Chain A
């Protein structure tokens, strides 16, 4: 018998989910995280979950893991000392960046640019030049380069990046630089831009490759450590790391291309949310993951998360595919304030962080946060123990929120409700970015709320967007581990290919895509994915000649063979019309071609909870005075562990579990489904009649 293990390491808890690959049976475990060496917590959890399943850890064949190690390295600026080699004349490519100054008209007055991840003092030039078509304009001056590398070596760099102009069209010089660097500074990992992101645009390619170098030593250490610890208990287990795009990469590829892991953690959340929603019958989904300082949102259409071709962490944006997750600086710790001049109520982006945290935590925080507003409003009852043991101080929360009330001339309750409403509006702003702005109507989507604070806001967000039902899965931590465990191994192979349609043919495109898919398949073979299980899909990035955008069109090879390039141009025009309301009578142009190959995911069966009647009163544990929609209400408090399938929880209600709290607003009802999800609908909604409704499968553009 073989097993898979999904592992999610959060700030407080490490969640694990063990799956029997044959039967789909699952076991979960939750242990405290061990920030100093995360592998300690992971191993402890592994012991526990294996104990529950009564198996020997050696029976685990694959461990799937989403990690925030790369993200945190960037956010805390604790990466490697990176050296950079550029083409002569381009030493300052990161210093100049895109010349962009944020903040609108006059924004420069307050803009202080952060320093590049590869310091200028550690950047050297290679005397060489490749032209735009890959032609060598000037050969590489190897002797001069060797001298420059020697001097760089003296500056104790820990990783080296090579990013030469037009290397996406011809990588021979970059490879030569790598070989020379290997001689001059053996052991220093070298990242080539033509490997990491072989695409046009020198700044983006450079910053991405530098980011790769920057996090590489840290990720390498982390992965090595975890792997050896796992090996010590579980033998020859294969470790996979979840990539930002929701695919899995081998431990080796994670070490080489860690820039692809910058969104690994949140991607696990989205993947898990998707799995839960699919089981519940909702393939069209908005995901809302509310954490302490920020909220991550994403859109899933027809069971496929939207991908985008860039990843942003802090103020670093790199060219690496990621699930299209938008982040707003609005979370439980976001601070509310009233600027003196405008007397407006603002929430965030400043955050109280984990320390001192919200006033209600009683750790010395005095600024009013979103969590404090939730306490004042009664949404977080005092009987709730956050993370199992932390007591909430209502008096301190009230004192903090009263400051805002005084500044606004409002009662403390109204001020708290104002904070709650504003932060919801900020989250809606991010949800609009992934939905309306991409041509999707949020009313066609369900909304799933998770993360520590997601279930507090999800009902209100659904109401603002008309996205029903609100889905609250049980156990937000397990969600990520579930996402990790259920992900299929996936690899893609892509190339920049700029050609007008008239300059190429469907035969040519066919040939390139075929070659790309073979390359991706080889990578999967190395991961021991049998050929028969591989699913191949193809994408092309297209635009009108002269345009700056690129839209991704999914294509089928036999369709391409049958209809020629029309199989691409027609869906492109249709998508363009859908997104921008018009198509243009202009020639189409290819930008990039891509083949994606993935292995089969596994079947997971989650245990159904016991069935009950519509009456949930057996799960009620008390009442709580709360302030909802501007009125004082008495909310019933339920213990989630005692709810049964088929129970109907009428709002106003509060549902508690160990690591989250759900608010059900007045005039709304939460139905408990077979898997223990809460599905919240406004009273009178069709969804409350009969069996839970599924939303329809969409077939626009992507499947």
Chain B
């Protein structure tokens, strides 16, 4: 049974014609309201992930639940289908169960809250927001266990519940949830911050509706969706070919010694409809790297990517959803069946963007960006300090942004919107560690006409005994280059013990014991290069060399010879000629390997780590996959 909406008045709003300028004004007013949600949250939240790094996503939707402003697309319709109860004025809903909302959030750390916005007893819009809590309980600090096999190991899971009922906070319920978290005051504060943000959006929507009238507010939102649809239809027609494009990329391993896992996708157009089909993607993993991908969210990713590449002025919203169809086979890495573990989905989530880039770029090579920092590597450090107090750090780190047809990729930056690093002085004040090294890795960005950004090197010096976790990827496969650009350098992690001995760390691992004085050198990966490196201006290469971002040796990848701090023009010309002849035609993609077996064969020699074994899959998921297709919503209700 879908949710029942209770309103004092059920008189439908009238669809009226709205002047385009009024639409523009309402659009900017709503956009301002959405940014105001961010501000309220950042200022009061406590989880550094939300507060310092901005791992949170607000949105405002129309009364049917279609996102009008926001980033990750709407899930309200899906929520309404799955929620068996009433929606009333003053209610706020909370859930962190990905399976209950078909992947609108994709792991339990993300707390999703939504609120119907009432005006005179009637819903006029919705506001919603989710943010990443530092801890939600479960088997490891940070609640992201690499070795979890089911979601039950990943902390407290809350199905969609009314956490605020008619304006009254359901304190007992909240207490139960908080009781299961390691840092309850952080969760409590973040929870309050999200409530405040939702209410802010609510107030703004009511004000706008009062200013223009309810019917105009309603119709303007509709017109914004329609406007976006028109623009996207045009974009899809122009950029998506009718012939099938295919691209695949990989998650290197599952933290259990198996991998890589393939994400495969085909894209083509039928009339105005753009179809994405993930057939060929590997089955769901037995570990926690599964990414429950919401179809609508994927449409948003695809739409946003197209908009950014082709016309960044367009405001994106849910208006174009009818123009895309997304097919994700059940029981795969991207549509795992409950109770598959989900916590470490960040690698597959990031890789989706590389897949998208690879797909969309094939039809429009001139607009193609390289592979880049398609992940959020995590670092966690926890334990008891000498005073017996618990400390727990969860940190997202960054790397090389890909080279793109519009310029170089920044070094050590974030692909994720509004994410920032945590100041190291802040870390050193609040956690028992020192950041001895904080720099980008020379030559780690892929060579290209537009250079890939360098990866980031962080040297963590531990000042207390404790445990660390590392969650990273792209240690086996490379961030690929495009149109002649070379791949970026892969990630590595080295633990240097206080006695000077070194241990190579795998890319994904929990429960590593560290002692005071140990140093972890965590290198993330560089962005792929874009375009022919031999076409890069030698003066620009020299600039990078002087800056210490590229070495004199690394400049040779661009065919640039630097002697005594200056470009040797003659030698450069000769070298470039030689390289061009030897290389021949530049490939569209440079993955840095010919096939997986070849890559695995040189894995140990190159990375010092054993190549992962071929993945083994569960049999139950395969058996259930067929059934799941017939009863797609069942799992949601059970939760």
Identify the A interface with B (CB < 8 A).
Answer: 89-93, 95-96, 98-101, 103-113, 119-121, 129, 131-132, 137, 165-166, 168, 200-204, 339, 341-346, 408, 417-418, 421-422, 425-426, 429, 432, 436-437, 498, 544, 546-549, 576, 579-582, 584, 586
Give every chain A residue within 8 A of B304 (Cβ-Cβ). Answer: 104-106
Q: Establish whether residues A109 and B52, one from each chain, have CB atoms under 8 Å apart when the complex forms.
A: no
Closest chain B residue, CB of each to CB of A166:
B425
- Pick 7 A–B contacts, CB within 8 A, sort by A: A108-B409, A339-B313, A341-B313, A342-B227, A345-B21, A432-B36, A498-B429
A107-B314 in contact given A120-B547, A437-B39, A548-B52 (Cβ < 8 Å)? no
Q: Establish whether residues B21 and A422, one from each chain, have CB atoms under 8 Å apart when the complex forms.
A: yes
Give every chain A residue within 8 A of B311 (Cβ-Cβ). Answer: 339, 341
**Known pairs A107-B417, A346-B313 / 5 extra A-B pairs, C-beta < 8 Å:** A105-B304, A108-B415, A109-B309, A422-B21, A586-B185
Residues facing A in B363-422 (CB within 8 A) are: 369, 372, 398, 401-402, 404, 406-421
Task: State whether the Cβ of B107 lies closer than 8 Å to any Cβ in chain A.
Answer: no
Closest chain B residue, CB of each to CB of A422:
B24
Task: Tell me, in angstroms, the Cα distance from A165 to B227 when the chains sit together.
Answer: 50
Give every chain A residue within 8 A of B217 (Cβ-Cβ). Answer: none
Q: Establish whether residues A109 and B421, one from each chain, have CB atoms under 8 Å apart when the complex forms.
A: no
Identify the B interface with A (CB < 8 A).
Answer: 20-21, 23-25, 27-29, 32, 36, 39-40, 42-46, 48, 51-52, 71-72, 185-186, 188-189, 192-193, 195-196, 199, 227-228, 230-231, 234-235, 300-301, 304-305, 307-309, 311-315, 369, 372, 398, 401-402, 404, 406-421, 423-426, 428-429, 434-440, 456, 459, 543, 546-549
Give every chain A residue within 8 A of B228 (Cβ-Cβ). Answer: 342
Q: Establish whether residues B24 and A344, one from each chain, have CB atoms under 8 Å apart when the complex forms.
A: yes
Task: Tell me, in angstroms, the Cα distance from A165 to B406 when the chains sit together.
Answer: 35
Task: Tell me, in angstroms, the Cα distance from A432 to B39 when the chains sit together.
Answer: 13
A100: which of B23, B44, B414 is its contact (CB, 8 Å)?
A: B414
Task: Tell me, in angstroms, the Cα distance from A516 to B283 when the chains sit together.
Answer: 65
Q: Establish whether residues A112 and B417, one from each chain, have CB atoms under 8 Å apart when the complex forms.
A: no
Task: Tell me, in angstroms, the Cα distance from A204 to B426 when the chains sit together.
Answer: 12
B429: which of A96, A120, A132, A426 is its contact (CB, 8 Å)?
A: A132
Closest chain B residue, CB of each to CB of A420:
B21
Give every chain A residue within 8 A of B196 (Cβ-Cβ). Answer: 580-582
Give every chain B residue within 8 A of A99 (Cβ-Cβ). Answer: 398, 412-414, 419-421, 456
Task: Tell me, in angstroms, the Cα distance from A339 to B227 when the chains sit together.
Answer: 12
Closest chain A residue, CB of each to CB of B458:
A89
Give every chain B residue within 8 A of A91 (Cβ-Cβ). Answer: 439, 548
* Closest-CB distance, A243 to chain B (whole angstroms): 26
A108-B32 in contact given A98-B421, A99-B412 (Cβ < 8 Å)? no
Task: Tell me, in angstroms, the Cα distance from A426 to B21 when the chains sit together.
Answer: 13
A121: which of B404, B408, B434, B546 is its contact (CB, 8 Å)?
A: B546
Task: Name the 9 nearest CB pairs between A and B, nearest first.
Answer: A120-B547, A106-B308, A132-B428, A341-B231, A121-B546, A112-B407, A548-B51, A418-B21, A109-B308
Task: Tell me, in angstroms, the Cα distance from A204 to B314 when the chains sit together.
Answer: 33
Task: Tell me, in angstroms, the Cα distance from A168 to B424 when the chains sit together.
Answer: 13
Q: Establish whether residues B423 and A89, one from each chain, have CB atoms under 8 Å apart when the complex forms.
A: no
* Closest-CB distance, A457 to chain B (whole angstroms): 15
Q: Establish whether residues A202 and B312, one from each chain, have CB atoms under 8 Å apart when the complex forms.
A: no
A119-B547 in contact given A90-B438, A131-B428 (Cβ < 8 Å)? yes
* Closest-CB distance, A308 to chain B (whole angstroms): 13
B28: which of A342, A425, A544, A582 is its contact (CB, 8 Å)?
A: A425
Give every chain B residue within 8 A of A432 (Cβ-Cβ). Answer: 32, 36
Give every chain A residue within 8 A of B185 (Cβ-Cβ). Answer: 546, 584, 586
Task: Tell me, in angstroms, the Cα distance from A214 to B234 when the chains sit together.
Answer: 47
B25: which of A105, A109, A422, A436 is its contact (CB, 8 Å)?
A: A422
Give every chain A residue within 8 A of B314 (Cβ-Cβ). Answer: 339, 341-342
Q: Establish whether residues A429 and B28, one from each chain, have CB atoms under 8 Å apart when the complex forms.
A: yes
Task: Tell me, in angstroms, the Cα distance from A343 to B435 when the chains sit together.
Answer: 50
Q: Establish whether residues A408 and B20, one from each chain, have CB atoms under 8 Å apart when the complex forms.
A: yes
Q: Establish whether residues B421 and A96, one from each chain, have CB atoms under 8 Å apart when the complex forms.
A: yes
* Closest-CB distance, B211 to chain A (whole angstroms): 8
Give every chain A residue within 8 A of B48 (Cβ-Cβ). Answer: 548
Give every chain A residue within 8 A of B434 (Cβ-Cβ). Answer: 129, 131-132, 137
Q: Establish whether residues B440 and A98, one from each chain, have CB atoms under 8 Å apart when the complex forms.
A: no
Closest chain B residue, CB of each to CB of A436:
B36
* Closest-CB distance, A117 to chain B (whole angstroms): 14
* Closest-CB distance, B483 to chain A (whole angstroms): 15
* Closest-CB distance, A585 to chain B (whole angstroms): 9
Q: Establish whether residues A421 and B40, one from each chain, have CB atoms under 8 Å apart when the complex forms.
A: no
Q: Establish whether residues B440 and A426, one from each chain, have CB atoms under 8 Å apart when the complex forms.
A: no
Task: Tell me, in angstroms, the Cα distance from A425 to B25 when the chains sit together.
Answer: 6
* Closest-CB distance, B198 to chain A (whole angstroms): 11
Q: Establish whether residues B51 and A101, one from each chain, have CB atoms under 8 Å apart when the complex forms.
A: no
Give every chain B residue within 8 A of A581 (Cβ-Cβ). Answer: 196, 199
